[in-house]
Structures are given as structure tokens and as C-alpha cells.
Amino acid sequence: MAKENASLPGRAREAADNDVTVLRAAREIFAEQGWNAPVSAIAARAGVGVGSIYRRYRGKEELAQSLRVWAIDHLATLARECVSTAKTDEAVLKTFFSRYLTESVGPLIPVLGGRLPEHAEVTRAAEELEDALQSMVDVCIDAHEVPPGFTAADVMLMTVHLRPTLPIEGDRATEIHTRYLDFMLDGLRGGTPQPSITPPSWSEWLQMWQGT
């Protein structure tokens, strides 16, 4: 948390770190309990009072919108980092999904998708995410890691399929998810015929996400 806001001055950094703590807690609680989880559960997980959350957010919907922006921005940053730091082009997608599995609590679409109205910041973040993911996908297509029809929306929907909630905790769940990641990546690079189904478009993913 401190690393994410290290460039901010004293009190601003502390406030930003507190925000991240609450957002991380919200993501965990929503993943575990669903949309009907009480704000009090989020506060307890974050180690703050309920009142402090309501001083920052007017309600659960505003908190959830901020969570969506934060989560989308994180994925965009992750995609850019994977393109710039992977040792080879062949490692980009593996690095992206491996970090996603180890750094993320789980996908938000099953919990928040379609529940919240359009929001300007979510739209802005989603546009930047599409650009970041498409740049990553282009690298992977050129490296023959994915077929030409692979899309940015495919990446986002694979984050859902790769991270189901399992009734086990900790490292073992991550190991199992990573096992199926390896199978998936082997299949993508295996030169199998293109699926006959039309790939998902980015607007289709946005519709699932925003319910518009």
C-alpha cells in the first residue's frame, strides 16, 4: 500500500493508503459475501470504523464505483508493466495472468457487473484498460502466443474463468488456478483452429460490467 502512494506528501499519502486499505477490504468482502455484504464487514476487514467509510463515501454504491476504478486502473498498470518488463514477448501473457492470480482477490464482474449505473471515471478507466490490454495482446499475437482473433475482451473474461471461488484458502487455491492457466496458455499457443464463435467485443464486456 505504501508503495502505491510513496510519492505523495505525508497526510495525503496516509489518506491514500487508508483508501487503498478500504478498497482492498471491499474487494475481499464482495468476493466472499457478494453485493449484499454490509459496509460494517468491509470496515471490520479494513480495521477502520464504519463512520470513517461513510465520511469518505456516501454509501456502498459510491464505494463500489471507486473500487471498480481502482481495480481497472490496477489491471491497466499491470498490462503495461508486463509488456515493458517481461524478459521475452513469449512471457508477457503468462506474466500478466500469473500476477493477476497472485495479486488479485478475484474478478468483480460476477459481484458488481450490471448492478451499478454508468460512471464517468469507470468509463475513463475502461478506455485506458482497453488500450493497455490491446497493446499487450498485439505483442502476444506477434509472438504467436495467442491466435490472431484474440481480443482485449478475451483477456478480461479469462480473468473470470481463471479465478473461480474455491472452498480452499491460500497458496493451494493459487496453485490450482495456476495449473489451469498453464493448460490455457498451452492451448492458445498450440495452433488449434480458430473457434467458430464470434469473439467478445470490448463493448460487450462493458455491457456486462456496467449493465448498459
Q: Hey, is 201 helix, strand or coil?
A: coil
Give per-residue pLDDT as tens, 89-147: 778 999 999 999 988 777 888 888 888 999 999 999 999 999 999 999 999 999 888 98
- In the chain, the N- to C-terminal Cα span, in Å, equals 33
Q: What is the mean pLDDT of the chain?
A: 86
Which pLDDT score, from 0 to 100, does residue 80 have?
96
Given this model, what pLDDT does residue 99 score? 92
Q: Which range among 70-84, 111-125, 167-181, 184-198 shows the weakest confidence by mean pLDDT?
A: 184-198
What is the predicted pLDDT for the residue at 196?
Answer: 65
- The CA-based angle 170-106-73, given to 5 degrees, is 125
Architecture of domain 1-56: Orthogonal Bundle (1.10)
- Domain ranges, ordered by start, for the chain: 1-56, 66-210
* pLDDT, tens only, 58-92: 999 999 999 999 999 999 999 999 999 877 877 89
What pLDDT score was predicted for residue 211? 61
> What are the distances in angstroms from CA 125 to CA 20, 99, 130, 187, 188?
17, 20, 9, 30, 28
CB 25 within 8 A of CB 42: yes
Q: What is 66-210's CATH superfamily? A: Tetracycline Repressor, domain 2 (1.10.357.10)
